[in-house]
A and B are shown apart, each in its own frame.
Chain A
Amino acid sequence: MEDIRIRRFSTLRIIEHWFHAIVFSVLVITGLTQKFYYLDISEYIIFHLGGIDYLRLIHRYTGLVFALMTFVHIFVALFGILSGRWGVTMKIEPKDFRDLIQNIKYYLGMEQYPAPCDRYSYRQKFEYWGVLTSAFIMIGTGLMLWFPIFFTRFLPGEFIPASQVMHANQGIVVFVIIALWHVYNSIFNPNIFPIDKTIFTGYISRERMLYEHPIELARMEGKELEEILREQRDLQYERILEES
């Protein structure tokens, strides 16, 4: 039973994640050093990347790659949805807010079970949309900072410092989402520690599907959700018995 592995991500998604991980790291390193230029570590990074001019060039062109990847992602997603290859799995629904409330109640001991999730949990959706909207803000403001002369031809001059403030603050917001939320959920979460390998291998164990994506598993196996949840709870009960 535990040996069953289910394909969760295609090779394309694995490559896309690798790209994003690298590009994002470069952007964060070269971006935060510019925001916190007065720290010793920032100076160390700036000087060892060949000076502030090179650092800015690296940041801008990596940003360009990031922008391209974002647009490719959107086109692929739209193409997949329109051609019917995959469903609209990332759409935020009222259920997600109900799930959030149920989970918080569960954490506080007011509910017996956490909310059963579909392909993506509300936490993953929050992260996805948080990063995607941030990406648009970062790309837009980043371009204004890169080409201020072009943009002030038709926009007020004040938009340039406004872009700077927004770019820096939104950068920190994305960094917080990834550094705290994403890293916790895929590395430090005690359920999956030391690391969630799904995005690297493309496979997830059926047992984890049982806990984390029971609705999707039920759909895949053509079973009722109730049946899957019963299986999940039995397994949990067995575990407790084993451990005690």
Chain B
Amino acid sequence: MGRAMTVTILTFLISLLSVFSSEGLEDVEKKKVGDCLQCHGRPGIIKRFENGETIEAYVDIERLRRSAHKGLRCIDCHSDFSEERHPVSRFRSKEQFKIRMALICRRCHKCEEIKNASIHLNLTREESGGRPHPCTNCHGSHAVREVSRRTYGNEEQYCLNCHGHPLSLSFRNSETITFRIDLSELQTSVHRRLSCSDCHFGFSESQHPRRNFRGRREFSIANSETCRRCHFDKYSNTLESIHYTLLSQGNLNAPVCTDCHGFHSIQRLGKERILIARRCQKCHEGIYSIYANSVHGKALIDENNQDVPVCIDCHTAHNIKDPLTLDYREHIPDLCSNCHSNKVIMSKYGLSTDVVKTYLQSFHGVTLNLYRKQREEFGKPARLIAVCTDCHGTHNIISTRTIEPAFLKANLIKRCQQCHKDAPPRFSDSWLSHYKPSLSKAPLIFLIEWIYNIFTPILIGGILLQIFLHVWRYAVNR
């Protein structure tokens, strides 16, 4: 009983002490904040604007205490107000209210001073262009603090404090871009674990260098340079590409990383192959529409078939070569063979995997391979020789199953005549259409092969037997 009494008394004394100490602090503050907080220190006071928007006129004493302005009195900023005067102001909207309130800051923080921080440059420029950015958007009002990493949990919050609002950037050629970075976009991108300055190197809480671009395109190209800091392999691949060649020749329309991959909302490609084709379509609309009507494109678009080749399967993604070079042309059978020699893929569609092999064993295929080696090893100039695309087409490849055989034959001779100018209609029959000779396809050739396959071994065997017997008799006679 006695022990319980002691605990109660001790608790009372401690709580009494704490009341005294906090009252002492509030005494000091009372001088500064006056009686304002008697009303504004309690939640529930609402200010309503003409357009129906509202704002809570509550001031959190704890946040005020931690603010950079903790030494100021309420009336130092709210100079219209005093213990005697509490004028009623009318504002059209919350925005107008914020802009007006932000003018208070400028009484102490002069324009010249603000401009010294490079981060404010664009903001003040836009302000003079009629688009004010209230200081409180970034710095807060009663809880005003120096904007720093300490204020914000992470860099995104810090940067988005400004860049989360629509900002516009103007260039020397008077182009402008307006952008607002959406946090949700950032969070769904593959780079969600990165901080802003990982890509925007040179920028930080303390640094916001002012850069001067001629136009939007130059700005995009310069920004895409950042990708190579991590993706150097891909970057060095692009140096061999036709896009880079065009860019280095001064064609600013040539695509850079961000044109295909995007920037803040960057996603992993490859899940949906149609998306890859669509990226190329942005610039290569004509070729895309031809491709879309081809056997490959139709399967991709109509059936969402993921086996068919999209642009990058033949052209590659990064080191895209000029497809009009001899070197590219000589590698075309390799490109087709990537799928058309693959038994797993071809068996799904009932297609033969012999097509590439029969081509490579044909006059054209053998010549092509030899030309390629001659050129690569001895630098000999090579002549053009028919490859897959010369008969089947490139982007406009169609299935031979859907065409009438007679029409197919008529088409084929036209392809032959591209090189063999005077070829008569029968000439196209000299190509066995990738079929291996059999009794049903090319029986004449099948029979000739068959006869030789029997006759030649018999001949060799007979000759060897005769030689053997002759030598044997000679040995026996001796």
Asked if A pairs with B, the answer is yes
Task: Report A's interface with B, CB cutoff 8 A.
Answer: 34, 37, 43, 46-47, 51-53, 104, 106-109, 123, 148-149, 152-153, 155-162, 164-166, 169-170, 172-173, 176-177, 180-181, 184, 189-191
CA distance A46 to B372 in the complex (A): 13
Contact A181:B463 (CB < 8 A) given known A165-B449, A169-B449, A172-B456: yes
If A106-B473, A157-B428 are given as contacts, then 13 extra A-B residue pairs at C-beta distance below 8 Å, sorted by A number, are A51-B370, A51-B371, A51-B378, A107-B473, A108-B469, A157-B426, A158-B432, A160-B430, A165-B452, A166-B448, A170-B452, A173-B452, A176-B459
Q: Which 3 A-B pairs have the closest CB atoms?
A: A157-B429, A160-B430, A107-B469
List the A residue with the shortest CB-CB distance to B476.
A109
Contact between B455 and A161, CB atoms less than 8 A apart: no
| 15 CB-based A-B contacts, threshold 8 Å | A46-B370, A51-B378, A52-B371, A53-B383, A104-B469, A107-B469, A123-B466, A148-B430, A153-B426, A157-B427, A158-B445, A161-B442, A176-B460, A184-B463, A190-B474
Contact in complex: B430, A152 (CB < 8 Å): yes
CB atoms of A149 and B463 under 8 A apart: no
Task: Give the residues in chain A near B426, CB-CB below 8 Å.
Answer: 152-153, 155-157
Interface hits, B431-474 → A, CB 8 Å: 431-432, 437, 442, 444-445, 448-449, 452, 455-456, 459-460, 463-464, 466-467, 469-474
Q: Is the CB of B420 within 8 A of A149?
A: yes
Do residues B463 and A176 form an inter-chain contact, with CB atoms below 8 A? yes
Say yes or no: A191-B460 contact (C-beta < 8 A), given A148-B427, A149-B423. Answer: no
Given A52-B371, A156-B429, A176:B444 Cβ within 8 A: no
Checking B369, B432, B452, B474 against A161 with a beta-carbon cut-off of 8 angstroms, the contacting residue is: B432
Contact of B442 among A47, A52, A53, A158 (CB under 8 A): A158
A47 neighbours in B (Cβ, 8 Å): 373-374, 377-378
Q: Which bracket fits the contact residues of B?
A: 35 or more
Binary flags per residue of B387-402, CB closer than 8 Å to A gives 1, else 0: 0000000000000000
- Chain B residues within an 8 Å CB radius of A161: 430-432, 437, 442, 445
Complex alpha-carbon distance, A196 and B27, angstroms? 134
- CB of B473 within 8 A of CB of A152, answer no
Once the chains are docked, how many angstroms separate the CA of A148 from the CA of B423? 9
A158 contacts which chain B residues (CB < 8 A)? 429-430, 432, 442, 444-445
* Cβ-based interface call for B366 (8 A): yes
The residues of A that contact B374 with a CB separation of less than 8 Å are 46-47, 51-52
**B422 part of interface (Cβ distance < 8 Å):** yes
Quote the shortest CB–CB distance from A99 to chain B (angstroms). Answer: 12
Chain B residues, Cβ within 8 Å of A172? 456
Shortest beta-carbon distance from B139 to chain A in Å? 76
For B467, give the chain A residue with the smallest CB separation. A184
Choose among B377, B424, B472, B473 the residue that contacts A149 (Cβ–Cβ < 8 A).
B424
Residues on A with C-beta less than 8 A from B452 are 165-166, 169-170, 173
Tell whether B380 is near chain A: CB-to-CB under 8 Å: yes
B341 contacts the other chain (CB 8 A): no
